Amino acid sequence: MTADYREFYRGRAVMITGGLGFIGSNLARRLVELGANVLLVDSLIPDYGGNLFNIDGIADRVQVNVADIRQQSTMNYLVRDRDVIFSLAGQVSHIDSMRDPYTDLEINCRSQLTVLEACRNHNPGVKVVYAGTRQVYGKPDSLPVSETHLVRPTDINGINKAAGENYHLVYNNVFGVRGCSLRLTNVYGPRQLIRHNRQGFIGWFIRLAIEDQTIQIYGDGSQLRDFVYVDDAADAFLRAGASDACNGEVFNVGGDEATSHRDLTTLLVEVAGSGRVQYVEWPAEKKAIDIGSFYADSTKFKTATGWAPTVPLADGLRRTVAFYRDHLDRYTGEPEPPRT
Amino acid sequence: MTADYREFYRGRAVMITGGLGFIGSNLARRLVELGANVLLVDSLIPDYGGNLFNIDGIADRVQVNVADIRQQSTMNYLVRDRDVIFSLAGQVSHIDSMRDPYTDLEINCRSQLTVLEACRNHNPGVKVVYAGTRQVYGKPDSLPVSETHLVRPTDINGINKAAGENYHLVYNNVFGVRGCSLRLTNVYGPRQLIRHNRQGFIGWFIRLAIEDQTIQIYGDGSQLRDFVYVDDAADAFLRAGASDACNGEVFNVGGDEATSHRDLTTLLVEVAGSGRVQYVEWPAEKKAIDIGSFYADSTKFKTATGWAPTVPLADGLRRTVAFYRDHLDRYTGEPEPPRT
């Protein structure tokens, strides 16, 4: 299976929810190359990451359907005849989830049920790959973190993402709607939202570096993270979607190296040739939900699918910085209105 | 604290959501004895367990407010000035959750957020004790199950109850709304809903025995469970509510003995002097969500609070059978309409 998972997608009908977002649009590019029939579903809710420029260059080879996945009748229609669904739509801001837990609940829990109920009732043969998150682990008891670590989220977003993941496992086990979850760590690369700083730190740091601004690090910057370049993350989704060995399972999908915030930002400033780093005290409300160091053990997924990250951090940062330098206005200016 | 947790409640303003239900009403009886000012909030949704007869004999010493805890403005008002909230309202049927996951989501996730947001904004000094469930563990890896076991629910109800529990921990840790969760195993006793068989097996078995009907056991009846008499469960809530050592923690609250379905039903038929047991094949859809044997290790809670179960199974069954024999029509006839 590791040799021909790419071949699997030729002519396959695939749907990506959140398909105009960061990982979704990068995955769409890969699927187009592989000859899949690609349907992108995205709500284009402002501030969430969907961006029509993300499909620049492939727009004529994908089908775009603007819709909210909370809408049951729409989803009942859209899931029909799809072979694989990549469930990437979500509210990803921890901070927003603590301000407005209800919207996070609607998007990360209810909407997952909406898609799964649509599949159960209208396309039970489909395979669903869910974008999980390392956030479900919360503050780790030990490192690296494997899938045997307790799920103990430290914010509302992590709780709701855990529920969304578990729905996929139950629908797999009870209703036979094949599904699995990839618990992504810190994915970075081109096409990530960098318009505001509420969707993860790395895209925001990259923007600050490009704009020659100051990157603030809380504490001494010794906390460790692992990073996955978005092409490697897309490859993980392709492998999971093509593999029935993954059904009913959760997998960590993380980078091979643990890197401190200090080393990350030093490297970023060096690669960008601009920006600078400043170390500041932890704000109390950030410290309350901080998880310290985190890096994942992705052995389970590597063993199941043959996946491995291929893009070293320095290369990935170089590509990312180059992309945003070329297209900064598309990611920091006013969002484009949807077109039909 | 173990000596005077009862004294703690004298004159305290306490609210019980699901207060007309099984555990809620038994807890209310204890609180009335202890001199608390008791507000019972219940939606009286048919089939969920709320029953006005449950407060027969204490109705003039409690305040009843019929309300749905999903209603934010109502909850904002009701939580004010309460010292302790016991969060027992919920949808508890596994089966219903698989038929209608959205209602389960609304009641077990959204409504918990509604109560917690009300507390955060209108009574941040309150203590909240949440009724969790052993269902969150799913099929155990090993026995007995302690709190270090993975949370891996096998049905939608278990997933949503896990989310509801986690909200309490996050509101404790991040917003300072003190909270904890008691993961109850199989609670039984007077005032449990026995009108239908979708809320756990033990109440239903008791009804069948009393009515001299046949109790069907799937498989050979060797699967083990532990049982908690409702007075012991109520005592656990009282201790948790009075103890700040419990804040931010989850605790198993289970019985001391693992008992097979075979031994349970044999004992029940003997105690009741009526009913009989029949062993039948597992229905496929039940087997799909069966978890095999389960019994909990409650050491953590015992150590933290001094709690221990006091009512042996035979005694508890005797009291329960006697209660339902006296009041069977109140639990199997038409429900009473709410009165003001």
- Residue A9 CB neighbour total at 10 angstroms: 23
Give B173→chain A minimum CA distance, Å: 7
**Identity of the residue in A160, A166, A174 whose CB atom sits nearest the CB atom of B288:** A174
Beta strand A214-218 pairing with A186-188: unpaired
pLDDT score, position A45: 85
pLDDT score, position B289: 72
Question: What are residue B183's phi and psi, to 5 degrees?
Answer: -85, 95
Contacts with A30 (C-beta within 8 Å, 6 or more apart), sequence order: A231, A234, A235, A238
Give A132→chain B minimum CA distance, Å: 15
Residues of A in contact with B288 (CB under 8 A): 173-174
CB contact under 8 A, A113 and B98: no
Q: Where are the beta strands (DSSP E) in A61-155?
A: 63-66, 84-87, 127-133
Whole-model pTM: value is 0.93
For A68-77, write each residue's pLDDT tens digit: 999 999 999 9
Maximum pairwise Cα distance, chain B: 54
A99 → chain B, closest CA residue: B117
3-state secondary structure B146-213: CCCCCCCCCCHHHHHHHHHHHHHHHHHHHHCCEEEEEEECEEECCCCCCCCCCCCHHHHHHHHHHCCC
Instruction: Locate the domains of chain A by residue range.
Output: 5-332
Counting residues of chain A whose pLDDT is more than 70, the rounded percentage is 97
Residues of B in contact with A167 (CB under 8 A): 101, 156, 159
Adjacent-strand bridge partners of A86:
A16, A129
pLDDT score, position A199: 75
CB contact under 8 A, A174 and B154: yes
Amino acid (one-letter) located at A48: Y
Rounded Cα distance between B104 and B87, Å, is 16
Model ipTM? 0.91
In the predicted model, residues of chain B with pLDDT beneath 70 are 1-3, 334-340
Element (H, E) at A235: helix A230-242
CATH T-level assignment (fold) for domain B5-332: Rossmann fold (3.40.50)
Q: Give the residue from A136, A224, A134, A143 showing the smallest Cα distance to A187.
A: A134
What's the average model confidence in pLDDT over A236-265?
97
Tell me what the pLDDT averaged over chain A comes to. 94
pLDDT score, position A49: 84
Binned at pLDDT 50, 70 and 90, residue A335 comes out as: low
pLDDT score, position B1: 44
pLDDT score, position B291: 87
Rounded Cα distance between A314 and A270, Å, is 10
Residues of B in contact with A105 (CB under 8 A): 105, 109-110, 113
What is the token pair recorded at A295?
């890096």
Rounded Cα distance between A64 and A41, Å, is 6
Binned at pLDDT 50, 70 and 90, residue A303 comes out as: very high
CB contact under 8 A, B163 and A109: yes
For A154-184, write each residue's pLDDT tens digit: 999 999 999 999 999 999 999 999 999 999 9
pLDDT score, position A201: 86
- Residue A258 CB neighbour total at 10 angstroms: 18
CB contact under 8 A, B163 and A159: yes
Amino acid (one-letter) located at A61: R
What's the average model confidence in pLDDT over A69-89?
96
For A118-144, write each residue's pLDDT tens digit: 999 999 999 999 999 999 999 999 999
